[in-house]
Amino acid sequence: MLDTIEALFRQIERLLDWLIAALVLALVLIVGSQLIDRHVMTLPMAAPDQYARIFLVWLTFLGFSVAIRNGTNIRVDLIDSRLPPVVRRVLEVVFDALMLVLIVLFGWYGWPLFLVGQDQERLGTIFSEAWPTAALLVSAVLMALFLAMRILLALAGRPVPRAAHAE
């Protein structure tokens, strides 16, 4: 069962990698077009800075989701390095559970913000004000799934996947 879940999460992670690559490419194109628009010729895009802001918000939240999945989220480990391995593992599960509660609260309180933003136009774009909040909600779901998987793996005594540079 856990192997199937891990395989599913690897597929989600691949999709996230492609989405992040597409967002970075879009940001490069938008910022490059602003340079051309200001110094070479006028381009027809009305508000490239607004698109760049939306894509940057998405990149930030999706990047944090990937960091959670890889176990590279920011954490002060000054004391952890001096604790026995068993205590460290227990603390990791406790911190993951606390972070899961926090992420659920972000999603819970972000939902009304998303609903309000649907009716507000983001000037100069085809997007509403709900798009940046959607990044919070999507990443909250992803982070909650990744944290739940980390907790389940830790409780099952299986190693939690970590990025190579995380240790």
Residue 38 lies in a domain: yes
Residue 160 lies in a domain: no
Question: What does 108-162 look like in DSSP terms, one character per residue?
Answer: HHHHHHHHHHTTSB-TTSS-BTHHHHHHHHHHHHHHHHHHHHHHHHHHTTPPPP-
Residue type, 130: A
Residue 166 lies in a domain: no
Residue 163 lies in a domain: no
Q: Which domain holds residue 89?
A: 2-155
What are 47-85's pLDDT values in tens digits? 778 888 899 999 999 999 988 888 776 666 777 778 888
φ and ψ at residue 128, rounded to 5 degrees:
-100, 175
Contacts of residue 156, defined as CB under 8 A and 6 or more positions apart, other chains included, come to 2
What are 85-117's pLDDT values in tens digits? 888 888 888 999 999 999 999 999 999 999 998
Structural domain count, the chain: 1
Residue 23 lies in a domain: yes
